[in-house]
Amino acid sequence: MNKQMDSKILGLLNMLKGARGIAVISHVHPDGDAVGSVLGFYHFLKKIGKNTVAILKDGVPYQYSFLEGVNEVRNVLDCEGMDMCVLVDASEFARTGFEKPELPVIRIDHHKTGEFYSEHDLVITTAPATVSLILEILKRWNKDMIDEKIARMLYTGLLTDTVSFLHANSFPWAFRDALFLSSITSVEDIGSLVYERKRKAFYYLLVRALERLTFKFWEKLAYTYIKYEDFSETGASAEDTDGIVRHVISIEGVEVGVNFIEYEKGVWKLSVRGKGKIDLALLCEELGGGGHKNAAGCSIKGTLEQAVSEFLRIFDRWAKYL
């Protein structure tokens, strides 16, 4: 942690301490980092006596339902009594699925691209997860108030956003956080709770996706798709798509893996993963999306054929880096 970040956090802390009510919000289709950041920060704020609300438009996915306090998360943007809104793990407010409220917004995030809302925004792209930034804030605010419950929430975000400490952004910051959090509480069961409670429908969906695997660009690009009808036909829900692209990028020789997902008829959300050769945040930005170097996303409207050909057209310009 360098000095610049230190003073940045102190400025942010002053603002947070001065607020009476703080709403904490993250993106639609929340992942573990979004859930962990929202819940961890919300519980800390509540514990120190702040007026606060936790907001996730889609609620907490089944995968993270084991965390305490998930039923306190609201799915409406009700900022009554709040005088500021903290946007966590999201590159822009629009990702929350709500209109930006008439309140000062502060963004705490580690995504490469996005919008800025305040001089106190804490956007550190080298952070292994947004929960790592939340942890830095909480440690400086009042370390003793980080209890077992909060530690489990933050650890869940850390574990999932680093893909179980697999990603290059894990070293060594993520290990320091893991050591700190595991000194507060036992975290050894969290991996199993997150990854070993999958519903059968996930596998029905996965089988379809694997059968549709297509390879391009010297077999270094692999993609698959999930159609709108696949959800009703397999009984899977939007959350069940989460782990699929991991299988695509895990294939030997594949440098970029993509899953085209039609959550909404005629709109394809692309989940793009890589192994470091191409900056996928920049690639997805060309399609109106963003994210991290090795994990990014965007969305394309049209038929599957149109979405795939639009992606391949953009990808063609990046293929030289493969």
Residues that bind Mn ion (CB under 5 A): 33, 89, 130, 161
Q: Is 106 exposed, middle or buried (0-12, 13-18, 19+ CB in 10 A)?
A: buried
Give the β-pairing of 290-291 and 295-301: antiparallel
Q: How far is the CB of 33 from Mn ion (least distance, A)?
A: 3
- Comparing every residue's Cβ against Mn ion, the nearest one is 33
Q: How far is the CB of 291 from Mn ion (least distance, A)?
A: 9
C-beta closer to Mn ion: residue 162 or 259:
162
For the CA atoms of 292, 132, 149, 194, the dihedral, rounded to the nearest 10 degrees, stands at: 30
C-beta closer to Mn ion: residue 85 or 296:
296
Q: How far is the CB of 53 from Mn ion (least distance, A)?
A: 21
Q: What is the DSSP string of 187-238?
A: -TTHHHHHHS---HHHHHHHHHHHHT-EEETTTTEEEEEE-HHHHHHHT--G
C-beta closer to Mn ion: residue 82 or 127:
127
Q: How far is the CB of 296 from Mn ion (least distance, A)?
A: 12
Q: How far is the CB of 322 from Mn ion (least distance, A)?
A: 26
Helices H, strands E: what count in the chain? 11, 11
Q: How far is the CB of 145 from Mn ion (least distance, A)?
A: 23
Q: Is 53 exposed, middle or buried (0-12, 13-18, 19+ CB in 10 A)?
A: buried
C-beta closer to Mn ion: residue 91 or 224:
91
Q: How far is the CB of 155 from Mn ion (least distance, A)?
A: 14
C-beta closer to Mn ion: residue 127 or 308:
127
C-beta closer to Mn ion: residue 110 or 208:
110
Q: What is the DSSP string of 277-296?
A: SS-HHHHHHTTT-EE-SSEE
Quick one: tokens of 322? Answer: 């493969």
Measured distance CA(304)–CA(18) in Å, rounded: 50
Task: Decide: 12 and 5 in contact? Cβ < 8 Å.
Answer: no
- The Cα diameter of the chain in Å comes to 58
C-beta closer to Mn ion: residue 52 or 130:
130
